[in-house]
Structure 1
């Protein structure tokens, strides 16, 4: 297991002991979204090593979330989440070096924001605006 993955799992466990588990999930989504948006910004300004670091941070968080799923209790929903996390991780890692990498990172961040907001709907946390809405 990588150091970043251990850190993500550790952060989830720590957060889940101080806040309700659903709130911890929303907070981790926020971190993954922020890291993905920073990867886009770094790519646009030709800071490719920094972009990769941010992308890897997002991947580590998503791996931690995937690892924390209770497949028995979660049933079909947990299976769908595993698929979503796996596809998003793959998309993030395949984006590195692509000519349209910044746009891809932004689309991935928007997708994560939609899911984050669905989780936030189960808490008292407010929805996070989509990147396009935030720019207006």
Structure 2
């Protein structure tokens, strides 16, 4: 019984159909990943004018960032791990940002709030550093 099933599944025509189907699925996945990662994808999908925000953490500490449009609640905080970059696409407009250095006990330290106008089709690069950050790419001073 198992031999018959195995032969049916491994027949040349079945293998070709499986290989063709697998190739089509892989191609669709790659195209989807490529299109989603390109700047402006949110604008094309929703028709909303967007700005690209790149947040670069240059220090050895984790940062937490939350954004809100005036009169609305802040978003869930974005966590930016040490020495990593995160990118978001946000609809254009005025935003209030809350930036906090995350302490060893996962509680925010050194919080600041500021406003910023984001314009459509612009990329904003935001570097997160502390006074002890080594700009040469090395570790922070003790």
Q: TM-score, normalised by structure 1?
A: 0.21
Structure number having the greater strand percentage: 2
Task: Specify the structure having the higher radius of gyration (Cα).
Answer: 2
TM-score normalised by structure 2 residue count: 0.20
Between structures 1 and 2, the one with greater helix share:
1
